[in-house]
């Protein structure tokens, strides 16, 4: 696997976790992809004050970074 591909995969994984954080913060736990991590996600939302909006805002820069990494293949 090329370094760029590995980096893109890591960014995609981070996007998934951010979406799960957003879903958890919005009270839509049934939409969480990583159901096995729901307790962890709920605790992070509660302890860190994560909102659905803050999680959604974090996705954009990660998507942009993933696209930039894709240009390096």
pLDDT one-digit tens code per residue, 30-72: 999 999 999 999 999 999 999 999 999 999 999 999 988 877 5
Position 22 scores a pLDDT of: 98
Above 70 in pLDDT, residue 12?
A: yes
Q: Which two tokens stand for residue 10?
A: 């890591």
Number of domains in the chain: 1
pTM (2 decimals)? 0.85
Q: Which residue blocks in 1-73 are alpha helix, DSSP H? A: 3-25, 38-48, 52-70
Q: Could you tell me the residue range of the domain that residue 42 belongs to? A: 3-70
Above 90 in pLDDT, residue 4?
A: no
Position 1 scores a pLDDT of: 53
């Amino acid at each position: 696997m090329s370094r760029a591909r590995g980096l893109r995969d890591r960014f995609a994984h981070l996007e998934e976790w951010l979406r799960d954080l957003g879903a958890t913060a919005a009270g839509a736990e049934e939409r969480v992809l990583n159901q096995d991590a729901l307790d962890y996600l709920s605790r992070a939302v509660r302890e860190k004050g994560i909102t659905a909006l803050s999680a959604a805002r974090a996705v954009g820069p990660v998507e942009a970074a993933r696209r930039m990494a894709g240009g390096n293949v």
